[in-house]
Chain A
Amino acid sequence: MSYIIEIENLSKDYEVGFWKKKKVRALDDLTLNVEAGQIFGFLGGNGAGKTTTIKILMSLMFPTTGTARILGSDISDFKMHSRIGYCPENPYFYDYLKARELMNYFGELFGFDAAKRNRKTEELLTKVGLDEKDWNKQLRKFSKGMLQRVGLAQSLINEPEIVFLDEPMSGLDPIGRREIRELIAELREQGTTVFMSTHILSDIEALCDNVAILRGGKLAATGNLHELLTDSGEKQSFEITIKGGAAENLKDSIAGIAGAIFAAKPNGANINVLDENDIEKVLHATREAGGSLVSVQPVRQSLEEFFVKQTE
């Protein structure tokens, strides 16, 4: 299996300070491979080095050490950029241009003829959900979310084989987020590889096949999302929801069960137990307290918990 993105021992030091330059390591010996045709989630806390990595991949910065290849070409080969797309974090574009003009300009840089530029512009601006009345508005009058949509649209203008999205959901309203989520899923359907960094874990859970988690510039974990969550050695737990009953009595009787967690809710409670056999005990106690069962659910370890554990 050949990889579409290959990152080898990539490190980056930032030089800070005005006079005596001090080196700050932002990325430390990152090795990572991404297969074609998937949505790859690039996770990590603030300052973990996600943006740094993506900017090195885009040749906007040069690595201190290490190499990387995209589509088999070294990242310094900018001709390869005709086959990829990139939407920067908090994108910003020429604010004197209108959305349409910006798309047209970028299309021209790819050498598209006027008809194709027009077609792609309209297609993509519609797809990212930018209101048609805003197409002929100068970008300086755009809101953050509107700019984000334009950023996504421009990253797709050349029908890229891989698209790099640095926090594509930031600044979007809930509807916008859903639209973009659908757009990203659609991209995978068409065979486009998506490499995205994000903080929004629900999006990752909904979209990503594989993920990598960075911590302090180092790779903390990588692999298939499902496998990571189930193979992490954590036991499964069960969530029991009940309604009615005297909560205080119930809490006391539950306290006897090892590992059980009680959480009172208005007119009921949520109880977590670790052992399947404890479910019966809880149900018994519930009936005694005069409550009734609503549901019993097995819970997997959540990505959030996993993420917190990996990045702490």
Chain B
Amino acid sequence: MANPNAVSGASTFKIISTIARNTFREAVRDRVLYNLVIFVLLITASAIFLGELTAGHEARTIVNLGLGAMLVFGAFISIFVGVSLVSKEIERRTIYAIFSKPIGRGEFIVGKYLGLCLTLLVNVLVMGIGVSLAILAVGGGSLALTIWGAIALLYLELAILTAVAILFSSFSSPALSALLTFFVFIIGNFTQSLKDFALTIGSSSGKLFFDVLYIILPNLSFYSFRTNAAHGELPSAALLGGAFLYAMVYIGILLTVTILIFKRRNFK
């Protein structure tokens, strides 16, 4: 035989990081980061023009507008890149060469997911710096620093959303997955109302239904701290820590389900 001492292959960690880095490279080459240009233009323009409109409250409005735009841009990437992350590989059959190598399907999913998270991280960092600079430019002072608490929460929200997108895309078409992910994004921001609604329902089975829904759907309202950030508030350590743990556990669940489904898929 050619090589009796067979190659043992790379470690799981190495494989995941290699796939993640390649996913990031794909995003860069597919010009996903171009949105940053639009974002920077938006922030610069608002820094220049808002002064006229807000009578000396530019900094506050830049925080609201900037962090809001960050969420919109980020969610856009999470949803649209997220749902095509795996389905594009199946559709273009690039996955054939991957899985004929010693790579587990779980490693592939986690690598792809982390790759997109890395892309989002770069995006959010650059956008955040843009907002901070704009705040400094209009004399917003310490707001330039305190918004980073809200940005950290915003990033966790995007990480959850990406996991939702990848889960849906593991069993449905990209278009449907995008739609479903978008719904989860919307409902996820209202789950608090969902729970309050459950309290007003008389029947206990109806209440149970909403309670279960509340647990299953991600409660994204934990992560919207943007309006508070505009007042220079910082999230408490309890909120940050709890939200971080919540995100990790929730993402862990979603990825487990995704891998479970993905392991059973035929690539026809």
Which residues on A are within 8 Å of B, measured CB to CB? 14, 36-37, 55, 58-62, 78-86, 88, 91-97, 105-106, 108-111, 151, 154-155, 158-161, 164, 190-192
Contacts and interface: CB of A to CB of B under 8 A. Distances in A.
What 10 A-B pairs come out closest when comparing CB atoms?
A111-B10, A86-B100, A96-B29, A82-B9, A82-B102, A61-B266, A81-B102, A88-B96, A60-B267, A83-B6
Interface string B23-44: 0011001100000000000000
A86 B95 CA distance: 12
A94 B99 contact: no
Given A14-B268, A37-B1, 17 more contacts: A36-B1, A60-B96, A60-B99, A61-B266, A61-B268, A78-B103, A79-B9, A80-B102, A82-B6, A82-B101, A84-B100, A86-B100, A91-B93, A108-B18, A109-B102, A110-B102, A159-B3
Interface string B232-268: 0000000000000000000000000000000010111
Nearest to A26: B268
A214 B126 CA distance: 57
A85 B100 contact: yes
Contacts of A78: 99, 102-104
15 contacts: A14-B268, A36-B1, A60-B99, A62-B266, A78-B104, A82-B9, A82-B102, A88-B96, A91-B93, A91-B97, A96-B25, A105-B22, A109-B103, A111-B14, A161-B6
B100 A58 contact: yes
A109 B104 contact: no
A59 B1 contact: no
B14 to A, nearest CB: 6
Contacts of B95: 60
Contact of A94 (B11, B94, B264): B94
Contacts of B9: 79, 81-82, 110-111
Main secondary structure of the interface of B (DSSP, over half): loop
Given A62-B266, A78-B102, A159-B2, A94 B22 contact: yes
A78 B95 CA distance: 14
B125 interface: no
Nearest to B100: A86
Contacts of A60: 95-96, 99-100, 266-267
B102 A192 contact: no
A172 to B, nearest CB: 18
A158 B1 contact: no
Interface in B1-23: 1-3, 6-11, 14-15, 18-19, 22
Given A36-B1, A92-B94, A109 B266 contact: no
Contacts of A85: 100
Interface of B: 1-3, 6-11, 14-15, 18-19, 22, 25-26, 29-30, 92-104, 264, 266-268
Nearest to B267: A60
A238 B168 CA distance: 66
A95 B93 CA distance: 11
Nearest to B104: A78
A155 B100 CA distance: 9
Contact of B3 (A58, A59, A94, A161): A161
A91 B97 CA distance: 8
B29 to A, nearest CB: 4
Contacts of A109: 10, 15, 18-19, 98, 101-103
A40 B52 CA distance: 78
Nearest to B95: A60
Nearest to A87: B97
A62 B103 CA distance: 16
Contacts of B98: 109
A108 B7 CA distance: 13
Contacts of B8: 82, 111
Nearest to A151: B97
Given A96-B30, A109-B10, A192-B2, A81 B100 contact: yes
Contacts of A95: 92
Contacts of A62: 264, 266
Contacts of B7: 82-83, 110-111, 158-159
A123 B15 CA distance: 24
A10 to B, nearest CB: 14
B129 to A, nearest CB: 27
A223 to B, nearest CB: 24
